[in-house]
Structure 1
Amino acid sequence: MRTALFAFASVLALTACSQPAAETEAPAETQAAASGILAPTYPESRTVDQVDVYASAAEGEVAVSDPYRWLEQDVRVSEDVANWVEAQTETTTAYLDQLPGRERIAERLAELWNYERYGLPTSRETTDGLRYFFSRNDGLQDQSVFMVQDGLNGEARALIDPNDWAADGTTALAGTVPSPDGATLAYLIADGGSDWRSIRVMDVETGEQLGDEIEWVKFSPLSWAKDGSGFYYSRYPAPEEGEAFTALNLNQAIYFHELGTDQIEDVQIMADPDAPDVGWRGSVSDDGRYLVITSSTGTDGNGVHILDLEAEGAAPVEIFEGFGNNHSYVGNQDETFFFQTDLGAPNGRIVSVSLSDPAVLSDVVAEGDGPITGADHVGGHLIVETMRDVASAVSVYTPDGDFVREVELPGLGVASGFGGSPERSETFYAYESLNQPAALYRYDVETGESEVFRAPDLTFNPDDYVVSQTFYDSTGGAQIPMFVAHHRDVDPNGVRPTLIYGYGGFAITRRPDFDVRRLQWMEMGGVYAIANLRGGSAYGRDWHDAGRLANKQNVFDDFINAGHALIDMGWTSPDHLAIHGRSNGGLLVGAVANQAPDLFAAALPAVGVMDMLRFNQFTAGRFWVDDYGSPQDPEMFDVLYGYSPYHNIPQTGEYPATLITTADTDDRVVPGHSFKYAAALQAAQTGDAPTLIRIETRAGHGAGTPVSKLIEEAADRWAFIAYHTGLEIED
């Protein structure tokens, strides 16, 4: 078992504006010279006289204009913003409808996506044996169905089908946790892509709803008491009316909910009203005796306390204080606890600590050359996952730290899972790569035997695609790893349409995992690259630190240099090169397009953090100060203002064709970021290439988005960059 630590994202404010939206008729569309594609004419985005003054370490005070502040307002509240969204959607749709091959892309993507997929099983020991819980999607279901099965060879039956919850498929099952005896299931619901969660409970045998209803849950694990009488979870106070999707997330607390009672009766376990910015999360230990409590103020670093649930009146014992390092619970043997930590070990280590002497840490698995990405306590062993040049490696150890064996993996890819019980040797893991969808394996930690549990039947041959890894030079002599994947028939010729994906932040590493949309780009003849930029954790904490705060420019340099590397390798040229990133990666694409507009033909910034001076004002945005720094800090203001995509659009006349994507109900990186960026780009002198914004309805930051919407969005993206990078598609 491992304690979840959350990488949070940004939301902007609900800002009133007294001026009404301008209602003007757009001028007639003009004919693009050579293509027959009509160039877009943009709706008018009115401006306001909003100026904010910031403290600068270099210049004292700096007045910053924010002419599109009114676009920060929630589309569910502001008619002005809703009208702007409608006008932009009409413009974008009119342009995308003209692009060659768009319908064929959607049809083929649906064909490729139509294969059976399973989630990793979770098991519980009942009086009749093991009961397995897992998700299944028959191929094109908008949401996966949650299943239950008694025994490995039992007949699976549907327990929850979220496809029945909403006609548009946007209400999603966001988490499931069976009780220790497998008789009861607590599950979380997300509506319209929001980060807010509702908790419900059902009887597994009958499927009957038990009536428990909990609201205002966000960034929370859910962990059952040992006797199944209830569960621990974290929630925030109910927001004021109209502020649910914009107000800062403060005063999180851990509660215990007893089954059959109202939420108002839930017992508060841990909170700190004097420190409203501290978040609290709790998970019950594997033996059920302890509550492992983590606390944090941001995305980097957490404290840990342990509460003895069986000792009446016990106080939590502090194991790791402050928020300077990252620590995750792995397991325990009585009073001896195992933690994964980067304290004194930038690549991570596994340590043991006794409750009787919490100041003493003993190495169990010492820091190695590759960073530890996870660890589990299964079948009396420790399963430790690491990265070797970004690809997965998995090793088994005894609780004393003796090496047992390495888990043999099929190739250069990503392994995940390995959860289970300390009392049972069975665990499950998934393995995937850029050309291979996830197959599930059952692994016996005692014998080391691994066998296929579920493998998908595919409508394509993975062997038709080549996945390789290269390294290129970047700022300061850094060697950046990059995966390059393509169809076997595609060779470097200097003009291959090529798409680079990047992220570069929050210690998140983009691994060579499978995404059917990437495969379709390769099937169409494109080259797909993933650059493992600094700011992630490909090489541990030092790699993360090299790309955050005042070092953020390294991330942009790494991404720009990825483009140069692909050109130098003979794959492509600036006229055929596109870039893509989501969330922090959307910020990356926006910043890099500003800094090197002549290097790329097309840019796809998705749900990006585009206003670096206001990201920390709303919802979870304050957590990101760990990675970005605070715009209220004069030194960090100079850094943030220097690369903020919204504030640094060059008047070059030569800018990549840009398709911004966001969702109208994203309450993590609120759409106001993308709205303001789009309005500013459309108003700038950026040349003839189109600047469009695609705004999805009733969709959030990405989790739980229906398959049908994912296919539509991918078809729009691929048709857009194919047209602007010269990739020909048959209609």
Structure 2
Amino acid sequence: MMKQLTTGLLIMTIAATAQNDPFQWLEEVDSEKAMAWVEQQNADTLNVLTNYPKYKAVYEKTLEILNSQERIAYPGIRDGYYYNFWQDAEYPRGVWRRTTPTEYAKKNPEWEVMLDVAELAEKENEKWSYKGVDVLAPDFDVALVKLSRGGGDAVVVREFDMHKKAFIENGFKLDEAKTRVSWLDRDTLLVGTDFGEGSLTSSGYPRQVKKWKRGTPLSEAELIFEGESSDVSVGAYVQRTAERNYVMVYRGISFYESKYRAYENGKLIPLDIPLTADLSGIFKNHLLVTPKKEWNVAGKTIAAGSLVALDYEALLKGKHAVSILFQPSEKDSLGDVSSTENQLIVRIFKGGRFDEFERHTFSNGKWAAEKIDAPEFGTLSVVSADDYSDRFFFTHESALRARALYFSEKPESEIVKMKSMPEFFDPSGFEVKLHEAVSKDGTKIPYSIVFPKSGKMDGSTPTLLYGYGGFEVSLRPFYSPVMGSTWLANGGAFAVANIRGGGEFGPAWHEAARKENKQKSYDDFIAVSEDLIKHGYASPETLGIQGGSNGGLLVGAVTMQRPDLFRAVVCEVPLLDMKRYHKLLAGASWMAEYGDPDNPDEWAYIKKYSPYQKLSKDRKYPEIFFKTTTRDDRVHPGHARKMAAKMAAMGHPVFYFENTEGGHGAGVTNEQRAQSTAISYVYLLKMLSK
């Protein structure tokens, strides 16, 4: 058993309430006292886990995979080049680079470096992390580069010369903030950022959109739109197509409600679409809309989760000319929507098990659809699609099939396999099994498990169950060379639960476990855990669980409710103190998912599962491994800090690790990610292996 956390905490009172929390000082992210606590916990945890016999091999294998030159360099199509962001041993903080299509087709293409982030970090003495780029089309000669200190969501923005491969000295620059920015034209930006007092929402995001002209101070930018301080965020974006440009201004009233306005000829025009609808862009002068609730419009009843195309010009006049492109069934739901110049690529999630692509085209006033001849029985993901041609790249993978990259030149062309990831572990010794558990209210909950063919159905196999269950996020089959090489190869099994709160079966699957129904996510996960034990895959002594962010809340909640089911818990970048979550960083933006703790009626159901409040001195819990990062400016690291400290003060041993970089993730460099990943798997091996 590892050394107990922070001896000084052991003598502190544990009678914490929402009004009198003795661990609230740990919310002071960078305070000397809090960071001293973090350093001590990191030292204690690393002392145990890095000295575990298998740590060195697990870490080295993980880093080898993360730095491997055989990984796929995923391309972004822009103006005759393929762009890529790449990290390896030579470029620890990564390089933004490009190559030609001809060169990319080679096994080892030559790349032209546009920006070396480590070089910039050393020059400016900043721990820069690359956060993306917006290149101005169709000339593609200037760009807005986004950089984060330590990997957080807040970024600085700088204008970049694509020909000189250098920042423009007197170009556009924005200070660090959770900025939303888009090119209106070469000399004008649409900006939402921290303009000063009153310019941010209670969630810490912009509540104003301004038009900023080149050569003028930001303070003189013209206000285009302003939302309310209680909104989640306000922003604007420009979609460029071969036909014309479209400008949208949005007001995010809540996480699931937004009001959209078109910005045409300097005027804002409200769009008559449901507040709960999602937009998937504009294609052939049609606005692509997915209503999250049944929508009666233009004499049609459109099911929630459908994809509809609205004639844009008619919509500007307040009229609805509606074409239904996809309607969900009981098991088939809508996935991502991407577009090239002349085709929509629509991903359909089939039965919660695998994906298909549909191609939709619009010609001579009519829509047509056909299935795309993509590989079957796996997960499909569009990597890049070109707005100025019909080229697009996509990947295919499954739990035991390595990811491969495919290329489509145009609809009538044969799809070509361009690259493939090597099999970093031998999949032949494993099989995927599909099951359904029955939740507390009788709902059938699908889950899958990758299990050794030689494994005994006597509960002896170390088994890791992963879940999320929130924000309509779907968990789809994926190939993880690291997990396969370090967990499966060491005798483990891996299961994924498709619980309610996710989006695997459309909006209703999510809605079933939101706010006052959130407990259903936890009931579902418990049911899957019990089913794994019932089938003999695992036992309470060999079952571990893992989740991050909302998934961290998930594993925290079920551990408080059913600690007897689990031997190991990896709780990453979690929400845990649900009494204060809305007061910490972006937490207020999630009240549409969880509810408002300051509302007595809503706190009445939140407090029933909030892990920080449910923790008891008198119950026996597994030794939970809490993980977070100091620079997470989305989910406050105080959640993990306080929970670990409170458990330690109650006499419950825990593990704790906090990376000082990484944002809402595991690190910025591959070395940081490798360490974070390795200590998680070593913890699981230590706790679950006999």
- Normalised to the residue count of structure 2, the TM-score between the two structures is 0.88
For residues 119 and 111 of structure 1, the distance between their equivalents in structure 2, rounded to whole angstroms, comes to: 16
For residues 504 and 279 of structure 2, the distance between their equivalents in structure 1, rounded to whole angstroms, comes to: 18
Q: Where does residue 258 of structure 2 map in the other structure?
A: 302
| Stretch moving more, 179-188 or 359-368 | 359-368
Q: Where does residue 594 of structure 2 map in the other structure?
A: 628
Report if aligned partners of 1:602, 1:658 keep a CA contact under 8 Å in 2: yes
Superposed displacement of residue 85, structure 1: 1.9
Q: Where does residue 8 of structure 2 map in the other structure?
A: 44
Q: Secondary structure at the match of 2:272?
A: strand
Match for residue 166 of structure 2 among 188, 208, 222: 208
Paired residue type of 2:668: T
Q: Where does residue 692 of structure 1 map in the other structure?
A: 655
Aligned: 1:644 with 2:644: no
Over the residues paired in the alignment, what is the CA RMSD in angstroms?
Answer: 2.9
Paired residue type of 1:213: K
Superposed displacement of residue 191, structure 1: 1.2
> Size of the alignment, in residue pairs?
660
Report if aligned partners of 1:170, 1:705 keep a CA contact under 8 Å in 2: no
The verdict on how the C-alpha distance between 1:140 and 1:299 changes in structure 2, with shifts beyond 3 A counting, is: farther
CA distances 1:32-64 after superposition (whole Å, capped 9, x unpaired): xxxxx6654643227589977xxxxxxxxxx75
Matches within 5 A, 1:547-586: 547-586=513-552
Q: Secondary structure at the match of 1:200?
A: strand
Q: Where does residue 329 of structure 1 map in the other structure?
A: 280
Where structure 1 has 5 or more consecutive residues not aligned to the other structure, the ranges are 1-36, 53-62
Matches within 5 A, 1:271-282: 271-272=226-227, 277-282=232-237
The verdict on how the C-alpha distance between 1:556 and 1:266 changes in structure 2, with shifts beyond 3 A counting, is: same
Larger relative contact order (C-alpha < 8 A, sep ≥ 6)?
1
Q: Where does residue 567 of structure 2 map in the other structure?
A: 601
Paired residue type of 2:357: V
Report if aligned partners of 1:132, 1:150 keep a CA contact under 8 Å in 2: yes
Superposed displacement of residue 526, structure 1: 0.6
Q: Where does residue 340 of structure 2 map in the other structure?
A: 378
Paired residue type of 1:362: V
Q: Where does residue 408 of structure 2 map in the other structure?
A: 443
Q: Where does residue 143 of structure 2 map in the other structure?
A: 185
For residues 304 and 232 of structure 1, the distance between their equivalents in structure 2, rounded to whole angstroms, comes to: 15
Matches within 5 A, 1:486-565: 486-519=451-484, 520-565=486-531
Q: Secondary structure at the match of 2:118?
A: helix
Matches within 5 A, 1:89-238: 89-116=42-69, 117-118=71-72, 120-125=74-79, 130-138=80-88, 141-153=91-103, 155-166=110-121, 170-180=127-137, 181-211=139-169, 212-218=172-178, 220=180, 222-225=181-184, 228-238=186-196
Q: Secondary structure at the match of 1:622?
A: helix
Aligned: 1:702 with 2:655: no
Superposed displacement of residue 209, structure 1: 1.4
For residues 606 and 281 of structure 2, the distance between their equivalents in structure 1, rounded to whole angstroms, comes to: 37
For residues 89 and 713 of structure 1, the distance between their equivalents in structure 2, rounded to whole angstroms, comes to: 11
Paired residue type of 1:113: L
Q: Secondary structure at the match of 1:425?
A: coil
Superposed displacement of residue 571, structure 1: 1.0
The verdict on how the C-alpha distance between 1:83 and 1:482 changes in structure 2, with shifts beyond 3 A counting, is: same
Q: Secondary structure at the match of 1:650?
A: coil
Paired residue type of 1:142: P
The verdict on how the C-alpha distance between 1:217 and 1:364 changes in structure 2, with shifts beyond 3 A counting, is: farther
The verdict on how the C-alpha distance between 1:704 and 1:351 changes in structure 2, with shifts beyond 3 A counting, is: farther
| Stretch moving more, 519-528 or 204-213 | 204-213
- Normalised to the residue count of structure 1, the TM-score between the two structures is 0.84
| Stretch moving more, 258-267 or 377-386 | 258-267
Report if aligned partners of 2:182, 2:236 keep a CA contact under 8 Å in 1: no
Aligned: 1:315 with 2:268: yes
Q: Where does residue 470 of structure 1 map in the other structure?
A: 435
For residues 581 and 132 of structure 2, the distance between their equivalents in structure 1, rounded to whole angstroms, comes to: 28
The verdict on how the C-alpha distance between 1:531 and 1:165 changes in structure 2, with shifts beyond 3 A counting, is: farther
Report if aligned partners of 1:111, 1:459 keep a CA contact under 8 Å in 2: no
Q: Where does residue 288 of structure 2 map in the other structure?
A: 338
Aligned: 1:725 with 2:676: no
Superposed displacement of residue 230, structure 1: 4.1
Where structure 2 has 5 or more consecutive residues not aligned to the other structure, the ranges are 105-109, 295-302
Paired residue type of 1:719: V
Q: Where does residue 394 of structure 2 map in the other structure?
A: 429
Report if aligned partners of 2:202, 2:231 keep a CA contact under 8 Å in 1: no
Superposed displacement of residue 278, structure 1: 4.4
The verdict on how the C-alpha distance between 1:664 and 1:453 changes in structure 2, with shifts beyond 3 A counting, is: same
For residues 166 and 90 of structure 2, the distance between their equivalents in structure 1, rounded to whole angstroms, comes to: 27
CA distances 1:364-401 after superposition (whole Å, capped 9, x unpaired): 31312222122123232221112113332211122333
The verdict on how the C-alpha distance between 1:463 and 1:447 changes in structure 2, with shifts beyond 3 A counting, is: farther
Q: Where does residue 107 of structure 2 map in the other structure?
A: none
Aligned: 1:363 with 2:313: no
Superposed displacement of residue 151, structure 1: 4.2
Report if aligned partners of 1:247, 1:618 keep a CA contact under 8 Å in 2: no
Superposed displacement of residue 320, structure 1: 2.5
Q: Where does residue 349 of structure 2 map in the other structure?
A: 387
Matches within 5 A, 1:405-420: 405-417=371-383, 419-420=385-386
Q: Where does residue 38 of structure 2 map in the other structure?
A: 85
For residues 305 and 617 of structure 1, the distance between their equivalents in structure 2, rounded to whole angstroms, comes to: 30
Paired residue type of 2:258: N
The verdict on how the C-alpha distance between 1:185 and 1:152 changes in structure 2, with shifts beyond 3 A counting, is: farther
Aligned: 1:72 with 2:59: no
